[in-house]
Amino acid sequence: MANVPSWPAPHDEQADESVPPVQLPLRGPVGSGRPGADERFLNRELSWLAFNDRVLELASEPGIPLLERAKFCAIVSTNLDEFFQVRVGALKDQIAAGFDRPTPDGRTPAQQIEDIMAHVPDFVERLDAAFVDELIPALAAEGVEIIHYADLSGEEIDALDRWYEERVYPVLTPLAVDPGHPFPYISDLALSLAVNVADPDTGDRRFARLKVPNVFPRLVEVATGRFLPVEELIAAKLDTLFVGMIVEEWTVFRVSRNADINLEEDEADDLLEAVESELRRRRFNKAVRLEVAHDVGPELLALLVRELELTHADVTYHRSLLDLSCLWAMMSIDRPDLKDEPWPSVNAGRLAAAEDADRPIFDVMRHRSVLVHLPYESFSTSVEEFIKQSADDPKVKSIKMTLYRSGGDSAVIRSLIRAAESGKQVAVLVELKARFDEATNVQWAKQLERAGVHVVYGMVGLKTHSKVVLVVRDDGDRLRRYCHIGTGNYNGKTAKIYEDLGLLTCDENIGDDAMELFNHLTGYSRTVDYSTLLVAPRDLRRALLDLIEHESSFGPDGHITLKCNSLADKEMVEALYAASATGTRIDLIVRGICCLRAGVPGLSENIRARSVLGRYLEHSRIYRFAHGNVIHGERVAGATGDAVYLIGSADLMPRNLNRRVEVMVPIEHPRHTAWLDQAIEFALDDDVVAWEMQPDASWDRIGPTNAFEPHPQERMYRWTVERQTAATSTRGSD
């Protein structure tokens, strides 16, 4: 295979055999300290927390510009919010239901909660240290300040007083708690002030809650480069809200609630209505975490914990601002010297070639498939353009696609609506159960239906996570099927910051399979035989296990490379351990959760696990098997040599392999496989900035310590630009 870096196994013929390998016990207390724990598997939740730790390290990277480092503080803060809403919420539901089944690593739900809450306080303190102790002083030295109310000048106070009276005071609503006013409902992730006030005449003391509305900026720019958190302004003006009362103390707090949606799909007459009902109910789910300022008074804290039905173990204490997602707003500051150098996306090589510039994209695809690598290559001039031309081309008869997350103002949705209004047959499977996008998808589903689109809401018991578009076009000589199959969502916003891959193709076998897939998704087809695509949950798990087993039969000559977001499936982990035992080399490029232990003598010494983090979210899935062209004794469709390459929507997790509709497509053209090889090589280079798992399951940062380069993403971008320049100059000679 071209451009694949060599990586000798640690225990080859030159190894020092005088020191026997240390065997990790299959059962025992090592690492977790829990009797009966299976040390071959890492806990999914703790692995995710380790991933967020790695992202947090980016906030302290001296080679990353300061505003970008602040952005990473915002990202890890939001990540932790979602972790509590989804994962901790689910664990608490399991405990409440009496579910006590341990995970593959041997932990019960209660033990997982205990271990999570043992880790989180240290994480919060490190986040506070990165932001308060490092970034705030460093930004101030560059003229960008986050200040306290006491730091304001008299002129700034006068200007803020006027702004407060005109814009803030009218929308504030203090809610008292007394015998006639019960403790108010605290909405999920809302920023609030808890206030204790006293009557100067009677001495009676009362508690009040004041929500900080999100109708004005969280960070108020009081002067160029000077920002005041709006809650400090409101706190300074509490006397205007509690007139005649004495404000004894106040603190900022925030509540995370369980964000799970429990749908009995087989009992729902109308899935759209059921999801809308569950969204309304979710607002009132139980609290799972309370965030407070580090100097909160014991009386206020005790009241909040009691009224929210939490324990003190559910509380996190913060020296920094609560909810650092507000730091995203600072990216609008006009300070290019404090931000990353822009990397403008280029057009995919064949689409950018001079002779193809004015040709319909269908002509280009009919000549040869196009592999698009986002965001190095442009989403708008490739995938969006494909759907736009499909909507506007009178030769197009029908468009079918899956929508998981499409975002707000979506050019893709506008194209689909235009296509339906022009009389084309348009069918869209909108996944209403996409986490945190349920409300957006409900609205898109309604809008699409009003335009005449045939909208399907998914399959009972399964989420449709695949990324597939199927266009049928009358080319004159015959009807042809044009497809896009990708690793990422049809979302123009995330396509600028998520690294993803997609194949635009007119391949007949892929088109036939895509047609069968949509017939299965929208109709009652039960038995589907796919000639090329690998589809979960029907056959993807078995196919991947067969590919791993087949590759392991080549022993030290075998090589498996798996690039994904998460690896948490026990059966996959076991298969990779078995392959390692045969001497097969295994490279894992796993951004987030990795429940496999890499590099452990006697267990996984031939497995290397690496995590790449940077300005783009690594989101593509690439599965490469050096000798993977045979499954069940038959040649894999699309395999042109010894190796097989798969890209698609599926991670190696139980939910992807068992409970979601996922699609993987073989990549066969030599230029495309060479591109994938190059992307893998950049990620595995010895000198790049990345993180590698150690035998004790910790992740060590590798590469230069005084710079954030060379970085795999920068190398990929520079290489892509060079390729695009060459493709344009050769006028599509490929």
Query: What does the block give as tokens for 573?
Result: 């982990």
Do residues 551 and 558 make contact, with C-beta atoms less than 8 angstroms apart?
A: yes
| Cα distances (Å, whole numbers) of residue 279 to 48, 273, 404, 438 | 26, 10, 17, 8
Catalytic residue among 373, 465, 520, 711: 465
- Cα(232)–Cα(229) distance, integer angstroms: 6
- Could you give phi then psi for residue 518, rounded to 5 degrees? -70, -35
CA distance 502 to 480: 19
Which CA distances in Å does 107 have to 25, 58, 115, 213? Answer: 17, 30, 9, 40
Q: How many Cβ atoms are within 10 Å of 396's Cβ, its own excluded?
A: 21
CA 12/CA 537 separation, integer angstroms: 38
Inter-residue contact 228 to 149 (CB < 8 Å): yes
Task: Give the CA distances from residue 367 to residues 233, 282, 378, 507, 671, in Å, rounded to whole numbers and listed in that order.
Answer: 63, 50, 20, 10, 14
User: Tokens representing 258?
Assistant: 């369980």
Taken as a whole, the chain contains a residue count of 734
Cross-strand pairs, 194: 209, 251
Q: How far apart are CA 519 and CA 80, in angstroms?
A: 39
Q: What is d(CA 71, CA 710) in angstroms, rounded to the nearest whole number?
A: 21
How far is it, in rounded angstroms, from Cα 573 to Cα 603?
11
Give the residue carrying structure tokens 């809610």. 175
Is 219:330 a contact under the CB 8 Å cutoff?
A: yes
Give me the sign of the Cα torsion angle 540, 543, 546, 550: negative
Q: What are the φ and ψ backbone dihedral angles of 370, each rounded to 5 degrees?
A: -120, 125
Based on C-alpha coordinates, what's the Rg of the chain? 28
H or E element, residue 681: helix 670-684
Q: According to DSSP H, which parts of 83-149 are helical?
A: 89-96, 109-128, 136-141
Cα angle, residue 156 at apex, residues 328 and 195 outer, rounded to 5°: 70
Q: Are 572 and 684 in contact (CB under 8 A)?
A: no
DSSP, collapsed to helix, strand or coil, labels residue 429 as strand
Instruction: From 540, 552, 619, select the one nearest 583 (Cα to Cα).
Output: 552
- Which helix (H) or strand (E) segment is 645 a member of? strand 644-648
The rounded distance, in Å, linking the Cα atoms of 701 and 688 is 10
Categorise residue 352: left if φ over 0, alpha if ψ from -120 to 50, beta otherwise: alpha
Scored b (16 or more CB within 10 A) or e, 318-353 reads bebbbbbbbbbebeebebeebbeeebebbbbbbbbb
Contact between residue 430 and residue 443 where contact means Cβ atoms under 8 Å apart: no
Q: Which stretches of 506-584 are assigned E, i.e. beta strand?
A: 534-536, 559-564
Cα distance between residue 578 and residue 551, in whole Å: 11
Integer Cα distance of 311 and 305 in angstroms? 6
β partners of residue 609: 588
Does the annotation mark 711 as catalytic?
no
Q: Could you give the angle at which helices 712-729 and 670-684 cross, rounded to 10 degrees?
A: 150
* Distance from C-alpha of 52 to C-alpha of 11, rounded to nearest angstrom: 32
| Catalytic residue set | 465
